[in-house]
Structure 1
Amino acid sequence: MLYIVIPVFNRWAFTRDCLLSLRQQTTAAFRTIVVDDGSTDGTAAALAREFGEVLVETGDGNLFWTAGVNLGIRRALAEGATQVMTLNNDLVAEPDFVAQMLTAAAHHPTAVLGALELDLATGEPVYGGERFDWLLHRRHDLLRELPPAARHGLHPVSYLPGRGLLIPRAVLERIGLFDEKRLPHYLADYDYTSVARRHGFPVLCNYEARLRTYPDESGQEQTRRVRSLRGYYQHLFGIRGGGNLRNFTHFALKNCPRPYVPLCLLNGYTRRLVGYFLH
């Protein structure tokens, strides 16, 4: 049985739309776990009132993404999950999303799977996985490299985000949970899927499974929306900072091939120090 884990903190309107989209799936072969990390906007009461079928785990407001996901995964495994999916609450699943993920998983039972993301407003693809060149510190965006006619099926990638990430139980039993100690919020998903790939598990983006997303609602976009010295500090050192130098260092040391580490760190630090003001 597939268990879908959704970590949330406030933003009930997003959570509600996400859960409604899961109710409208063409298959019912899954259960949903919401990890409510101390929301103050009435999320807990609304979940109990509107979504009685959803399992709920609670936190005190200090879990952040990684520990929240891990709490939900532990509950899923205790419930007997054979597959776990992490899903952010600011996503809306296409009606056949779960069915397409389960179909791909049936053909590739040891694979870690991600999904194609579409802009909710326009319907245009915005993320379809990437391959990363450690030597040149360059990401190859599959959506830019694949012609539209090739945007279907499964595509090998270097890593995947936690937005609609299906993980077989065998992977969890082999490599454990997400690294909440060193990567409490950002990069934990890229790290986990990179580790899984190094352990021999295929990491694939499934273009048949589609999620609709709000590109402007990510924490990184909100931090950069109004640039300031305080925002710059949060970008580089805050737990929710997309350019967090500490997180990047942990990620690079764990996943970069050893000969490329010095160049990778230099390149990565430079991009984070100046990138806040350029994008």
Structure 2
Amino acid sequence: MAPLVFVVIVNYNGMEHINDCLESLQKAEYPNFKVVISDNGSTDGSVEIIKEKYPSIKIIENHANLGYGRGNNVGIKYALEHNADYVFLLNLDTIVEPDFLTKLVDTCRADPSIGVCGPKVMNFPCQKVIQSIGGTYKLWKGIPSRIGKDEDDHGQFKEPREVDWIHGCAMMIKREVFERIGLFDERFFLFYEETDFCCQAAKNGFRIVAVPESVIFHKYRVSTGFLNRLFVYYYTRNALLCMKKNALWYNWLTFPFFFIFYQCAGFFYLTMRRGGKSTPMIFWGIFDFLRGNFGKREGLW
């Protein structure tokens, strides 16, 4: 029998994306998977629509916005309690190809050392442009980058390849990884959770692999917006937290220079493009990291 896969989706007011995502999942060819939705207190009627149109889907209502990590953890716990062999984390603003799960499971079964894997993520609606085929995360600079980002897809990525991290919009994790390292670190709340999780998995001997033959489409920047206040704050704070958790002492000899350059570039961009409205979030992110204020940050928005 095929391994049992639980597809875990976090929903937060995702009404406009429900049909695209769930209809594509219903066309999936993999014979043994279930879908569970962890709802972060949606108020747009999306929960009611899911209950009405997709009665076979399990919905866990959290009644509050738990963020990406904690919201996923709720679904992951449910999946593990119900004997999942793999947990596939999927953003609601995605559309999957019918064979996406089959390709991932086949790759993982062929190599037991693989703990985390993910598909080729394509932009939507620009379906010929790559968003990510995994990514690199070099601790000497501490800034993650996406492999294949913004490249036209000419079939240049064909074979499974080892990477440092998998895009959090679509990542599959073997049960044994959770049993060894635990769930997502909920201190992040939003951004960098997948980078940190993959670092922790790799430290514990699991391979992180991107599988280009498995394909999903992601409505880029729909989930959070880009360079808004929320993005800037969490991205700044969590970049530092991820380094604190995963870097070795000598990585800190070079990281500050890259971080300062990156943040200065961000400061200039925000000032020029957004009138400086998001700029204070850089400083709030650094300040909260230094005083250990993690999780959801209230009062800044």
Whether TM-score is above 0.5 comes out as: yes
1:96-107 matches, cutoff 5 A: 96-107=99-110
- 8 A contact 2:118–2:166 mirrored in 1: yes
Contact 1:110 1:168 in 2 (8 A): no
Q: Which residue of 42, 54, 69 maps to 1:51?
A: 54
Cα distance in 1 for partners of 2:143, 2:243 equals 14
Equivalent in 255, 271, 274 of residue 264 of structure 1: 255
Alignment of 1:100-179 (within 5 A): 100-111=103-114, 112-124=116-128, 125-137=130-142, 141-143=146-148, 148-179=154-185
1:175-201 deviation digits (Å, cap 9, x = unpaired): 000000x21111111100111011110
Change in 2 beyond 3 A, CA 1:249/1:139: closer
In 1, are the aligned partners of 2:119 and 2:210 still within 8 Å (CA)?
A: yes
Aligned to 2:40: 37
Write the mapping of 1:9-48 to structure 2, written as runs, cut at 5 A.
Answer: 9-48=12-51
Aligned length: 264
8 Å contact from structure 1 (residues 36, 43) kept in 2: no
Q: Percent identity?
A: 23
Show the counterpart of 1:211: 216
**Aligned match of 1:227:** none
Out of 194, 197, 218, the residue aligned to residue 192 of structure 1 is: 197
Aligned CA distance change for structure 1 residues 140 and 221 (closer, same or farther; 3 Å): closer
Cα gap change, 1:139 to 1:83, in 2 (>3 Å): closer
**Bigger CA drift: 62-71 or 255-264?**
255-264
Cα distance between partner residues in 2 of 1:92 and 1:130? 21
How far off its partner does 1:150 sit? 3.8
Using the alignment, how far apart are the partners of 1:172 and 1:81 within structure 2? 11
CA RMSD in angstroms, aligned pairs only: 2.2
Give the CA deviation at 1:127: 1.2
Q: CA deviation at 1:41?
A: 0.8
Is the counterpart of residue 275 in structure 1 residue 266 in structure 2? Answer: yes
In structure 2, C-alpha distance between the alignment counterparts of 1:187 and 1:98, rounded to whole Å: 24
Distance 1:139 1:6 in 2: 24
C-alpha distance in structure 2 between counterparts of 1:7 and 1:165, whole Å: 13
Q: Would the aligned equivalents of 2:132 and 2:167 in 1 still touch at CA under 8 Å?
A: no
CA 1:39–1:140: 2 relative to 1, 3 Å: closer
Structure 2 CA distance, aligned partners of 1:236 and 1:140?
17
Which of 40-49 and 143-152 deviates more? 143-152
Deviation at 1:202, TM superposition (A): 0.3
Residue 134 of structure 1, CA deviation: 2.7
Q: Confirm whether residue 81 of structure 1 aligns to residue 84 of structure 2.
A: yes
User: Which residue pairs with 1:244 in the alignment?
Assistant: 236
In structure 2, the CA distance between the partners of 1:236 and 1:221, relative to structure 1 (3 Å rule), is closer
TM-score, length-scaled by structure 2: 0.81
In the TM superposition, residue 104 of structure 1 has moved relative to its aligned partner by 1.2
